[in-house]
Structure formats: C-alpha cells, structure tokens
Amino acid sequence: MSQRDEPAGSIYDLGYRRYDGPRLGRRHAMLSLYLFSLRGAFGLGRRTSSKIIPIAIAIIAATPAVIQLGVGAIVSSEHLHVIRPENYFNFIQIAVALFCAAVAPEVMGRDQRTRTLPLYFSRALLRSDYVLGKLAALWTALLFLTFVPQALLFLGNGMASSNSTGYWRDNWMDFPRIVASGALVAALFASLSLLVAAQTARRAYATVSVIALFVISSVISEVISGTAGGVWGQAAVLLTPFEVVRATILWVFQSNAESGSALAQADLPGYVFFAMLCAATAIAAWLVVRRYERIAV
Amino acid sequence: MNRAIVELTARQLLGQRRSLLLVVFALIPVGIALLYRFEGQQPNHVQWTANVLGARLIVGTLLPIAAVIFGTAALGSEFEDGTAVYLLSKPLSRSRVVLSKLLVAWLATGALVLASVLVAGAIAIRDIPDQGVLLGFAVAVAAGSLAYCSVFVLLSILTSRALITGLIYVFIWEGLMTALFSGTKVLSIRQYTIGVAKWLTTTSERTFAARLDGPEALALMVVMSILATWLAVRALARWEIGESG
Amino acid sequence: MPLLSTRELSKRYPGVTALDGLSIELEPGVIGLVGANGAGKSTLLKILLGLLAPTSGEATLLGYDVRRQGPELRQFVGYMPEHDCLPNDVSATEFVAHMAQINGLPRAAARERTAETLRHVGLFEERYREIRGYSTGMKQRVKLAQALVHDPRVMLLDEPTNGLDPAGREDMLDLVRRTGNEFGIAIIMASHLLGEIERVCDHLVVIDAGRLLRSAAIGEFTQRTQVLAVEIEGDAGPLAGRLAASGLRVKMEEHTVLIGIEAGQTPYDAIRDTVADLGLGLVRLEQRRQNLEDLFRTPEREDADVAAG
Amino acid sequence: MTATTERETATAGAPAPAPAIEAVSVSRWYGNVVAVNDVSFALGPGITGLLGPNGAGKSTLLHMLAGFLAPSAGSVRMFGETIWKNEALYRRIGLVPEREAIYPFLTGYEFVLLSARLHKLPDPEAAAARAIRIVDMGSAQDRAAAGYSKGMKQRIKIAAAIVHDPEVLLLDEPFNGADPRQRLHMMDMLREMAAAGRTIVFSSHILEEVERLAENVLVVVSGRLAASGDFRQIRKLMTDRPHTFTIRSSDDRRLASALVSDTAVFGVELGSDRLTVRAADFAAFAHAVAKVARGAGVSLFEVLPTDESLESVFSYLVKR
C-alpha cells in the first residue's frame, strides 16, 4: 500500500470488535440510571402521549409565576405581590400531588412491571444504588414544579423592578429560602409517593394508591381537626403532607399562617413540622430501600 | 349462582394483601369515632354521626373504595391474570359466573362497610335516641354496596382499566361534578345511598339533609343495579379472548 | 483460569433445597446447562448473577468471587433472562444504550457499541421504533443485544429460544453459536431443548436435584451405540423376521428395525441383501448414537434394551 | 352419556357421525387485519399438531376451536354442533391454555378439584385424584400453585383439563417450560390418550416434538391453511423438490457410477467420505438402493435422507 499509484480500495472487517475502553463502575451506573429515569419522568425519548401529562402538570405549576410576572410587567408596581414565595405552594399543591400520582409509578414500578429489574440487579449496581438513583430522579423532577417556577419568578421580579439593585438587596434572603423550601417539599413528596408506588407493579394500583394517600390523609386530618380539640386536634395537621409542607415553608420563610387556617388553629412551633418532614422523608426512603433489598427477582 | 365459584372468589378477595389494607381503612372511621367520643367538641351527636361519619367518611370514602376494589377484582383479576378461561371453558352459563362473582363482591363490600358503620356509629352516637341514623345507614350501605359492585363488575368486563375508571367515577364524577352540578345527582350512587339513609331516619332537614327523596333514590338504585347486572351478563356472554390470550 | 468454579455451593429455602453442595469447574466455551425443573439450574444462574445469595459454599466466575466482588464481576457478565424484560415504550437503541451505560460504558462508547451490537443481532431500521411493536423474534434479539453490548467475557443465557417459531429459533441459535465461536465470549446456556444444546454447545453440564450429575464434552454424550437402525417403507415385520432368523438380535419400532451388533459382527451385507430380496424400500440405515434424552429416561439404555429383547 | 344420546337422536339417520372437530370455511378478522382466512378441515381421533410461524393465526384458530372467539365467517363445529356460545359442549372438551397463570392461592389438588366441581362431576374428589395421578403430580398436589415451576403448572393444567375425561383435548404450547423428563412423560401421556380414541390438538414451535408425537399436522401460514395431513405424505407431494440422501459405503466411487445409471436418480455427488444422491422419486430410490448396491458388490454402511424431516417440510411451506 506504500505505492501511490496502486488503486485505492479496501475491504474492512465488520466483524465483532472487542471493547477495551474504560468501565466506569457503580457511580456511573447510578448516574445513568438517574438521568434515564429523570428523562422518563417527563416522557423524553418516549412517545408523545407519555409526555403530555407530566409536562402539562409542570406547566400548570408554573402558571401562577407566569401570571404574576405578567401582572407585574403591566401594572409595574413594586408592591403588587399577589403571590408571595411562601404562599406559592398553596397554588400548586394539587398539581404536585397529581404529578406524583402520574410519575411515581413510572419511575418506580415500571421496571418491576416489565421485569427489567433482574437486568439492573445483575449489572454493576447495588440494589440500594438503584433506589437512590430513582429517588434522586423523582426529587429532581419535582424540583421543576416546586423550585424552578419560583426561581424564575424571583429573578423576573428583580429584573422587572425599577430599582433592581434595591430589590436584590432587600429580598436576597428569599432566594436561599426558595431553594431550601423547594428542595424540602420535593423530598417529602418524592419519598412518600415512591414508597407507595414501590408496593405494586401494577401501574393503575400505584396511581390510585398515591392519590388515595393524599386524599384520605387530608380527609382524615380535616375531620379530626374539626372534630376533636386539645392535643389531638392540634396534632391532626401532622397527618397530611400538605399541611406539613405548608407549615415547613412558613417556618423557612419565618412567616405566619393565615388566621383561621388549620395551621393557625393547630398553633404548633415551625420546627415540629420541619422535623416531621425530615423524619417522614427519611423513613419512607429507608422503607423503599428495604423493600428493594428484599424483593425477589 | 355456583357454589364453587363463590368459594373461589371469596378466597380470591379475602386472602390478599389489599383486603388487609381495606380492613385498616374500615378501622379509620372507628378510630375517628373514638376520638370524637373522647375529645369531640360538637354538641349534636346525631348531626355529626350522620353528616361527618356517615355521609362523608363512610358513604363518601370507605364504601366506594371498598366497592371499587372488590367489585373490579372479583372478575377483573381473572381477566388480568388469564385465569378467566378456566371458568369460561366449563359447562355452565356465563350469567352464573357473573352473578356468583357479583354476589361475593357485594357480600365482601357490604360486610366490611356495615361493620364499620355499626361499630363506629355505635361509638359516636352514644346512648341518646339516634333517630334511626344507625339503621338508616346500615340499610343504605348494604343496598349501596350492591349498586356500586354491579357497576364495577360491569366495568371490569368492559375495560382492562376498570379500577382507574371506577375511581374516576367515584372521585371526579360523584365527588366533584355532583358538587358543582346538582342535576348529576340522578347518576350518583353516593346520592342514592344518602337518600335511602335519610329516608329511614327521623332527623330534621337541618340536622341531616339528602339531595334525593327516599323513594326516588331507592328506585334509581334498583334500576341502576339491575341495568348494570344485566349489561354485565350480556357483556360476558359476548366476551372474546384478547389477541394476547 | 477456569471460567466458573463452585465449591459445595448450596441454596436452601424453607422446605426446599435448590442446590445441594454443588461443586463444578468449567473452562471457557459454549456450555449447555440442563436439568429437570427445580433441579437448581436457575438458582445457580441467579447466584452467579448476584440476584440471589447462596446459603453456603463458594462460587467464582471469571476468577471473581460472586458474593464479595459482585459489582466488579458483573461489569463483565451479560445476562439474557428467559422471561420478557423489556420496557415497551422506548426504542431498542435507547434501551440498549442505557443498559450499556448501567454497565459502566461511557456515553459515547455506549452509543457506538449499541449501533454495532444491534447490527450484529440483526436489528436494522426497526431499532429506532418503540419495542412495543416488535415481534417475539425481534424482542429476543434486543434481549441478546443488551447482554452483549458491553462486551462481556461471559454471557448467561436462560432459554434463549423461548417463544420463537422455527425460523426465529434457527436464527437465534446461529447468533449464539457465533457469539461463542467467533466473538470468543464464553457462554453458559440453560435450555430444556436437548436438540438445541446439541447443535450449539461444546460442553454439557447436567444438574439433578441440586447436584452435579455429569459434566463432559458434548461428544461424550452422543457416542455411537452398538445398535443399527434400519428404516424401511411399509411394514418392518418381514425384515425383522428374516434378520432374526439369520441369528441377529432385533427389535421393531414401527417402520424401523433395530439390530444389536456384537463384537466382530458386520451385518451390513446381510441387511442389504435381505432388503433387496424382500423388495423393500430402504429409507434409512445408520448406527444409532447415544441420545441426550437418554439422560432423562428411566436408566436402561437402548443397547441393554435390544440385548434383553 | 346424555349428551351422546341427544346427539344421536339429533343426527338420527345420518350414516356417519359428525367429526370431532370441523372447521368450515372459517375466517376471522380484526378490523382490516385478517388473522385466519377461509380455513377448512376435519379432525378425528389421534394427535394433530398445529404449526405455523409466529403471527400466522395459530392462536386465533385455536381460540376459535375453544369457543373463545367467534368466527367472522364460516363455522367451527364439534361433534356437529357450533362451539361458539355453546357452553354445554365443554362437557366433552378439555382445554389447556397457553398462559401459565393458575390461581396462586390454590393448591394443585384444589385447582383440579375446582375444575371437577365446575363440571358438576358426581364424585369430584375421585376424579381430581385420578387426573392428578395421570399427570404424576401426586407428590406436589398439596403445595400452593404459586410455588410451582412452569412444567408443574403445565401438568396441573392438563390434569384440570382432563378431569372430566373429555373426548377432545386442545392444548396451546403444552410443552412450554417443561423439562426433558416432563416432555417425555407428557408425550407418553398424550399418546396413551390418543390411543384411547380421543381427539387431541396441540400447537407447538418445537418441530422435533411435533414430528415425534403427531400423526397429523395442520400448517397455518399467513392465516391460510398451507398443508394438512401426515407430514411424510405432505413431503411426497412436494414434487418440485428433489429428495436428497447421503450414503457411506465400502466403495463410494463404484456405487456412484452404478447409481447414476438408475432411473430414479438424477444427480450424484462424490464427497471425501460420503456420497450425496438426489432422487426425483423417494420411493423408487428407496427400493432401488439396496439392489443397486448388491449388484455393484458394495456394502452399505449408512443411508440417510437429509431433507425429509418435518423441519424441512415446514420451512418449505413457509417460504413458498
């Protein structure tokens, strides 16, 4: 082949080639699982029909922020804050619950339903890695509802303000609070809904069970609050994730509950709710790990 | 009815984890009634028992959830698991299969909810005259279970997503639409059940109100049950195996 | 280094012993794994894959201890389960690339190898479509691809032809054979179909009641027996009668006459002449081989059978 | 027995009893997709193997035979009666579905007993015990079916299907998941049942097994009936395909030249250690080969037909 005047032409071997490149192990496996599940949560790389519900719900969750920004732009008033960051959750709580019901079974039960679990567990991945990857994926997906719209709102408010620097100076503390509250809310909802979804391979049961968890806990909490007095009536608000989250957000923002609301009636110190949220998140996550450690595949 | 199918279905419905979950559900009204009894602040026990315990917790939540789970599982799980062929390839009419399945779903739902009503109600109402509230809800719940189950058994033959469809009916249609549009009450088993319960009590309208009159509610309930059962029998008689088997 | 080595490997469930002190040593190759249902075949596979922990004993695969070095070992293992294991709402490309990454391949390498592996298993245009629309044969190919994509050193295949029609079965067996012989990947393949094992494998392991029954090269299982089979068109009775009369030991099976050969006997010409004399149609004449199936029959072999008859 | 007398009175005067299974111009379509297209056949006692590539309409056909699907056109009859919506016929039919599902909470015995009770047998316990004995599941009959292996599930399903001693037995992929020993056992069992005069139809992808078990095959390709009957007879009908034999002998070269002159032979190829012969007429060659060899003074060590198996017949029918 060294001679130039030889006609150029080669036949290449299309046979099997070995792979000699790097093998990146558990951490990489976990990261891939996380990204794959996160994409799956929004139906990316899937047919259009699997994108509609999660993306529509995420849009609904961003709508209050968009409206506020729009109103701010037109009216151009510093003081017209219809939606305070500590109240944002009140507008989107149903969207968050529906998102969990629709997406958690997709994130968690799917591999059990399609019997893909043995493929994961026979690879360079531990069962606990699998669960943590899935938890992280749903948590991140929920941040698109609980954190991203508010962050945009915060930035938008600042930029729309006639005195941006003044706005940032006065309100900069809101940003870490938005981050913290968004992360906490997402953590509780992610771990609770995954715990429920992990109990069954059947998607319909999982969706229904997640909704049932939210609806029934709210009904019970509300009925008990309205029925019993004393410690029982006070503690009833701890039975529903919605009130726990609401109260934790208020605590993070050092704000108070509206008078007349269930939280105001309960009159418990904020750190109790924060502790409840952390405990519930941790216990739920631990239970999911435990379930997957034991599941036979 | 066929005794072998009845026994089989009873084991199917009662021997599983979801039945245990339902028993826990059924205990919730009892727990709340206990709380009410010892910590309650409401002055009118009959009013609380009828509206909060009866209409809201039991008829509004426990009854439809128990019925949708038992009703769709009785026959639906056979289609889902592929065991239906064992029943349908036997020399017995398909109407018997439907009726046997419905009977067990009804008995399971009815027994569970009835127990919850009677125990929770007896705790909440204390010793004052109860103006027929306990009896009213007991009878209404027994009848309501049948109406719900017949509809859900029908759904389980018509669609493989009967559970979801059933829950949409319960929560969206009965829960939301009926609250917004009063006219939809004629298609709400929850309203039939409350109507029948109210009919059997001697409470005043201010203590406990129903949207449908007693006779009207009962008639609608009977029509609904018979219609759903008849359609279920017809649907199973025409049932064909899916392409997947 | 042996491919697989187990020492006194046991797995007990309450009331059931799936593996009972199994000790095996296997060199790389295409290995068939056969055993009755419940004999411990799938338990062994699951232990090797880290899906199940043994009750006692040790197992090493590729020199890694399956218990203590699970994640490291499994980077080099491919597994094709018997059952459906594919999500149906993604494409083959997306799924196989994902599985490659789960096995530690960097993103770019995963993509490249996915394309190549799917071509190897014979999936072309359809690889961008959702798996839901695939035929059984295509799904089996995807299952094989995900087990092969990360270039494992050993592949564990559980009933790879399950649910395939005859043409699909032929294709799959061909793929398995090529993977083992051309690609140089060791294969352990469990199957109930002895014909398949015989066609694809070069070594056979038979497990029974959780113990090793036999482990040997395929050839040793299919040695020629001292029985000649003569199949003719029509009734075999007269032929059997004549041959018996000439002093041969014979046995009849529908259209076939079985003849036991004793040392020094060469009955070939006698058979030829008898067939010709009787004007029969000779369909088949062969020396019988030992049949893999005989392992699962009641102990008496055909030789003994004919000898007795 | 009542069913038999009813049928006899119904068909009184007819010379021959109706065949056990009869499909008359049966078609089935789903929307625009034709799954089964104008298929007719009649089956009597014995074992029939139902073959076809995946998606050829095998399951659809079997489901129509079982009365789980209505034909879109034509009719499926059992003992002269339509099977669709005719529950009474199930008294005479046993059915082994493909899906392995069994009620997980029942023991094997309870499952078979359920079947016996649903058939309203006079002594269901005895019938269940008998059926379990036939499939040899006695040792596992009191364990919950949830813990059964695939092969055990298949056997207990067969027991449930034969508990009422049916005249017709339909089995969808019965060997799926069975291990070699169970396969042998199941084959023997089906042979015995066929020998007792029952009509057995089973579908399978494993041609070696069909070849060994079925006297009769039905081959479905693209929804049409591509062939039916004894596969050896079917092979003989394929006149456009020469029959090939390989021969080992004491002198291949001499045998080759002797065979070339035989009218039955139209091609001979000499290999290193064997001879490949192509013949137009299978029977003529079979009758000639021993005589020709004797005439040439050559000993025959091995004569093997190479494409006479069901596998080769099947692949020919599918690719046609």
pLDDT in tens, C178-220: 999 888 899 999 998 888 898 899 999 999 888 998 899 988 8
What own/partner pairs with CB < 8 Å and gap ≥ 24 does B174-180 have? B174/B64, B175/B60
pLDDT digits 0-9 by tens, A127-165: 999 999 999 999 999 999 999 999 998 888 888 777 888
Decide if pLDDT at D10 tops 60.
no
Where are chain B's structural domains?
3-244
Instruction: Give partners of D (≥3 CB pairs < 8 A).
Output: B, C
For the beta carbon of residue C245, count every other beta carbon within 10 angstroms. Answer: 10
Of C283, C286, C293, which to mutate for an interface test with D (greatest number of D Cβ within 10 Å)? C283
Nearest CA-CA distance, residue B42 and chain A, Å: 7
- Tell me if B8 and D114 make a contact (CB, 8 A cut-off): yes
Residue A99 lies in a domain: yes
Tally of domains within chain A: 1
With cut-offs at 50, 70 and 90, classify the pLDDT of residue A6: low
pLDDT digits 0-9 by tens, D34-60: 999 999 999 999 999 999 988 888 989
Decide if pLDDT at A79 tops 70.
no
Task: Provide the pLDDT for residue C141.
Answer: 93
Task: Provide the pLDDT for residue C223.
Answer: 83
Residue A4 lies in a domain: no
Decide if pLDDT at A172 tops 60.
yes
Contact indicator for B2, D118 with CB cutoff of 8 Å:
yes
- Tell me if D117 and B237 make a contact (CB, 8 A cut-off): no
Task: Provide the pLDDT for residue B130.
Answer: 84
DSSP assignment of B146-188 equals: HHHHHHHHHHHHH-TTHHHHHHIIIIIIIIIIHHH-GGGGGG-
- Tell me if B86 and D120 make a contact (CB, 8 A cut-off): no
**Per-residue b/e over A74-100, b at no fewer than 16 CB within 10 Å?**
eeeeeeeeebebbbbbbbbbebbbbbb
CA distances in angstroms from A185 to B123, D104, D318, listed in the order given = 38, 41, 61
pLDDT digits 0-9 by tens, A100-130: 999 999 999 899 999 999 999 999 899 999 9
Say which amino acid occupies D136.
D
Task: Provide the pLDDT for residue D11.
Answer: 45
CA distance D76 to D43: 12
Nearest CA-CA distance, residue C195 and chain A, Å: 27
Q: Give D286's contacts in chain C (Cβ within 8 Å).
A: 232-233, 281-283
- Tell me if B89 and D66 make a contact (CB, 8 A cut-off): yes
- Among A36, A33, A89, A21, residue whose Cα is nearest residue A249: A89
CA distance B25 to B44: 25
Classify residue D313 by burial, with Cβ atoms within 10 Å: 0-12, 13-18, 19+: buried
For the beta carbon of residue D261, count every other beta carbon within 10 angstroms. Answer: 8
Share of chain A above pLDDT 70, in %: 94
Cα nearest neighbour of B60 on chain A = A219
Full pLDDT tens readout for chain C, 309 residues: 899 999 999 999 888 888 999 999 999 999 999 988 778 888 999 999 999 999 999 999 999 999 999 999 999 999 999 999 999 899 999 999 999 999 999 999 999 999 999 998 988 888 899 999 898 889 999 999 999 999 999 999 999 998 888 888 998 999 999 999 888 899 999 998 888 898 899 999 999 888 998 899 988 888 888 888 998 887 888 888 888 888 888 888 878 888 888 877 788 888 899 989 988 888 889 888 887 777 777 644 444 444 333
- Give how far the C-alpha of residue A40 lies from the chain's centroid of Cα atoms, to the nearest Å: 14
Which tokens is D128 given?
A: 């269940």
Task: Provide the pLDDT for residue C177.
Answer: 92
Q: C-alpha dihedral over D248, D252, D254, D260, to 10 degrees?
A: 80
The H or E element that residue D300 is part of is: strand D300-305
- Give how far the C-alpha of residue C307 lies from the chain's centroid of Cα atoms, to the nearest Å: 31
Out of C275, C280, C283, name the one closest to residue D305 (CB).
C283
Q: Give C254's contacts in chain D (Cβ within 8 Å).
A: none
Level-2 CATH architecture, domain D17-236 = 3-Layer(aba) Sandwich (3.40)
DSSP assignment of D89-100 equals: GGGGEEEE-SS-
Task: Provide the pLDDT for residue C252.
Answer: 85
Decide if pLDDT at A1 tops 50.
no
CA distance A42 to A144: 10
CB-side exposure of D219: number of CA atoms within 13 Å? 26
Nearest CA-CA distance, residue A236 and chain B, Å: 11
Contacts of A290 (CB under 8 A, 6+ apart): none
- What does the H/E/C string look like for chain C? CCCEEEEEEEEEECCEEEEEEEEEEECCCEEEEEECCCCCHHHHHHHHCCCCCCCEEEEEECCEECCCCHHHHHCCEEEECCCCCCCCCCEHHHHHHHHHHHCCCCHHHHHHHHHHHHHHCCCCHHHHCEHHHCCHHHHHHHHHHHHHCCCCCEEEEECCCCCCCHHHHHHHHHHHHHHHHCCCCEEEEECCCHHHHHHHCCEEEEEECCEEEEEEEHHHHCCEEEEEEEEEECCCHHHHHHHHHCCCEEEEECCEEEEECCCCCCCHHHHHHHHHHHCCEEEEEEEEECCHHHHHCCCCCHHHHHHHC
Out of C269, C287, C293, name the one closest to residue D184 (CB).
C293
DSSP state of B61: I
**Per-residue b/e over A173-197, b at no fewer than 16 CB within 10 Å?**
ebbebbeebbebbbbbbbbbbbbbb
Level-2 CATH architecture, domain D240-319 = 2-Layer Sandwich (3.30)
Average pLDDT over residues B151-180: 87
Out of D151, D286, D300, name the one closest to residue C233 (CB).
D286
- Among C213, C164, C220, residue whose Cα is nearest residue C193: C164
Give the D window 219-238 contacts with B, CB below 8 Å: none
- Tell me if A223 and B40 make a contact (CB, 8 A cut-off): no
pLDDT digits 0-9 by tens, B59-94: 999 999 999 999 999 999 999 888 999 999 999 999
The H or E element that residue D127 is part of is: helix D124-135
Say which amino acid occupies A53.
I
The H or E element that residue D302 is part of is: strand D300-305
Query: Domain span at residue A142?
Result: 26-294
Contact indicator for D237, D281 with CB cutoff of 8 Å:
no
Length in residues, chain C: 309
Contacts of A8 (CB under 8 A, 6+ apart): none
- Tell me if B15 and D85 make a contact (CB, 8 A cut-off): no
- Among D110, D118, D117, residue whose Cα is nearest residue D148: D110
Task: Provide the pLDDT for residue C154.
Answer: 96
CA distances in angstroms from A212 to A198, A240, A247, B59, B168, listed in the order given = 15, 12, 22, 16, 12
Task: Provide the pLDDT for residue A77.
Answer: 56
Give the D window 137-166 contacts with B, CB below 8 Å: 160
Task: Provide the pLDDT for residue D15.
Answer: 58
- Among B166, B161, B171, residue whose Cα is nearest residue B151: B166
Counting one residue from chain B and one from chain D, the pairs whose CB atoms sit within 8 A come to: 75
- Among C168, C158, A155, residue whose Cα is nearest residue D207: C168
Which tokens is D304 given?
A: 């093997």
Contact indicator for B69, B154 with CB cutoff of 8 Å:
no
CA distance C11 to C195: 29
Residue A251 lies in a domain: yes
Where are chain D's structural domains?
17-236, 240-319
Task: Provide the pLDDT for residue D2.
Answer: 39
Task: Provide the pLDDT for residue A80.
Answer: 60
Beta strand D33-43 with C281-289: parallel, antiparallel or unpaired?
unpaired
Nearest CA-CA distance, residue D303 and chain C, Å: 5
Which tokens is C1 given?
A: 């280094």
Helices (H), chain A: 25-41, 48-75, 88-107, 110-113, 117-121, 127-146, 148-160, 164-171, 174-197, 203-227, 230-235, 241-252, 262-266, 270-294
Q: What is the mean pLDDT of chain A?
A: 88
- Tell me if C136 and D299 make a contact (CB, 8 A cut-off): no
Sign of CA dihedral A228, A231, A234, A235: negative
A9 has a chain B CB within 8 A of its CB: no
Our CA angle for A45, A51, A53, nearest 5°, is 160
DSSP state of B202: -
Rg from Cα positions in chain B: 19
Strands of the C64-65 sheet, one edge to the other = C16-26, C4-13, C56-61, C64-65
Residue A181 lies in a domain: yes
CA distance C80 to C96: 13
Counting one residue from chain A and one from chain B, the pairs whose CB atoms sit within 8 A come to: 49
Between residues B161 and A221, which one has the greater pLDDT? A221
CA distance D194 to D213: 10
Which tokens is D62 given?
A: 């079997």
